[in-house]
């Protein structure tokens, strides 16, 4: 039997509490290191062993001791993630209460309420907030549905009358269309016949969707002259618990990646995604 303990250790000892990252780079590194600790924790495969991971939490973030003041909100990163129950944001980043400002919505799309929530965080938590992350995940149901509707438009009919579902789907369909064009440009029109095509299109769409949202957030930050806060994207892989973010010049692309700087960089990113090792292996898989 194997046992894994993930423990939140509450303490008011300043020496035991992690300090808030001073800038967006440090915030990104802390999230990457946290995810790495979580992803590799379960790699310990010694039978009969108990593997323990401790997440230090400031007791004062719970308003303790009782005579102290109400805790002040001070997340160092905002994360836009999917509602999927298999992707609990704090847990996969090894973080605790008051560390992350989390917005979760099916398909992690940038709807009006989502953007409003992130704007609130930027405008009100600027003292501690250094980074906004858009986090997709492998096998996302929202993008999978969009791909299936794209490949077989008749599947749209039962969904067309459900306005709330349609709004999630319509945004995702634009991403699927772009992803299809990139795959065809990179591998030729016959790519659509490959057995792994559907899966590759789903995963290309998932990461493109996350990168596009991060790019849009960054544009919004720049337009409103918010400095010191950066946007990044990544995809949580359910199969390995690691984060994947293909980018130009890195065909493996593990960890989080900074949002593309401009439109040209976003176009280059599309090429890098379809040329990444993971998409290639999905395309080559016999299914
Ligand atoms: Zn999802």
Q: Confidence band (pLDDT; 50, 70, 90) for 15?
A: confident
Question: How is residue 225 written in tokens?
Answer: 């002259």
Identify the CA nearest to 138 among candidates 60, 246, 1, 30: 246
Question: Dihedral through CA 135, CA 141, CA 143, CA 145, nearest 10?
Answer: -170
Q: How far is the CA of 207 from the centre of ligand 1 (A)?
A: 12
pLDDT > 70? residue 287 = no
Q: How far is the CA of 16 from the centre of ligand 1 (A)?
A: 35
Average pLDDT along the chain: 92
Residue 121 neighbours by CB under 8 Å, 6+ apart: 75, 78, 101, 129, 132
User: What is residue 158's predicted lDDT score, i.e. its pLDDT?
Assistant: 74
Average pLDDT for 30-36: 97
Q: How far is the CA of 138 from the centre of ligand 1 (A)?
A: 8
Residue 208 lies in a domain: yes
Provide the greatest CA pair distance for the chain: 69
Q: Verify cis geometry, omega within 30 degrees of 0, for the bond prior to 65.
A: yes
Identify the CA nearest to 245 among candidates 6, 9, 28: 28
The residue ranking higher by pLDDT, 85 or 12, is 85
Residue 77 lies in a domain: yes
Least confident of 61-65, 112-116, 132-136, 229-233: 61-65
Average pLDDT for 272-282: 96
User: What is residue 17's predicted lDDT score, i.e. its pLDDT?
Assistant: 84
Residue 163 lies in a domain: no
Q: How far is the CA of 85 from the centre of ligand 1 (A)?
A: 9
pLDDT > 90? residue 37 = yes
The CATH number covering residue 20 comes to 3.40.1050.10
The residues whose Cβ lies within 5 A of ligand 1, an ion, are 82, 84, 140
Total residues belonging to the chain? 287
Query: Is there a contact between 234 and 242 (Cβ–Cβ < 8 Å)?
Result: no
Per-residue pLDDT tens digits for 138-180: 999 999 999 999 999 887 777 767 777 777 888 899 999 999 9
Residue 152 lies in a domain: no
Residue 188 lies in a domain: no
pTM for the whole thing? 0.94
The rounded distance, in Å, linking the Cα atoms of 181 and 131 is: 31
Q: How far is the CA of 140 from the centre of ligand 1 (A)?
A: 4
Q: For residue 217, give its domain range.
A: 3-142+196-284
User: What is residue 11's predicted lDDT score, i.e. its pLDDT?
Assistant: 87
Residue 61 lies in a domain: yes
**What's the total number of domains in the chain?**
1
Per-residue pLDDT tens digits for 63-109: 887 776 788 999 999 999 999 999 999 999 999 999 999 999 999 99
Residue 124 lies in a domain: yes
Binding residues: 82, 84, 137, 140
Q: How far is the CA of 137 from the centre of ligand 1 (A)?
A: 6
Residue 174 lies in a domain: no
Average pLDDT for 204-225: 94
Q: How far is the CA of 9 from the centre of ligand 1 (A)?
A: 30
Binding residues for Zn(2+): 82, 84, 137, 140
Identify the CA nearest to 199 among candidates 185, 183, 210, 211: 183
User: What is residue 280's predicted lDDT score, i.e. its pLDDT?
Assistant: 95
């Amino acid at each position: 039997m194997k046992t894994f303990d993930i423990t939140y250790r509450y303490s008011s000892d300043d020496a035991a509490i992690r300090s808030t990252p001073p800038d967006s780079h440090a915030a990104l590194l802390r999230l990457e290191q946290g995810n790495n600790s979580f992803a590799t924790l379960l790699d310990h495969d010694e039978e009969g062993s108990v593997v323990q991971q401790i997440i230090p939490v400031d007791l004062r973030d719970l308003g303790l001791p009782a005579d102290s003041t109400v805790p002040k909100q001070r997340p160092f990163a905002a994360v836009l993630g999917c509602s999927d129950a298999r992707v609990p944001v704090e847990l996969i980043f090894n973080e605790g209460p008051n560390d992350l400002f989390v917005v979760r919505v099916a398909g992690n799309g940038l709807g009006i309420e989502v953007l409003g929530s992130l704007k609130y965080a930027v405008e009100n938590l600027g003292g501690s907030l250094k980074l906004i992350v858009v986090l997709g995940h492998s096998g996302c149901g929202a993008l999978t549905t969009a791909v299936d509707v794209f490949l077989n438009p008749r599947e749209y009919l039962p969904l067309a009358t459900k306005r709330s579902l349609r709004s999630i789907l319509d945004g995702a369909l634009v991403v699927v269309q772009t992803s299809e064009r990139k795959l065809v440009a990179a591998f030729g029109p016959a790519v659509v016949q490959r057995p792994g095509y559907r899966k590759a299109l789903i995963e290309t769409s998932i990461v493109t969707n996350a990168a596009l949202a991060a790019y849009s957030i960054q544009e919004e930050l720049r337009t409103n002259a918010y400095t010191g806060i950066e946007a990044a994207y990544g995809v949580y892989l359910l199969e390995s618990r690691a984060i994947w973010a293909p980018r130009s010049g890195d065909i493996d692309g593990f960890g989080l990646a900074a949002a593309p700087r401009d439109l040209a960089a976003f176009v280059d990113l599309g090429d890098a995604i379809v040329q990444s090792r993971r998409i290639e292996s999905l395309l080559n898989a016999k299914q």
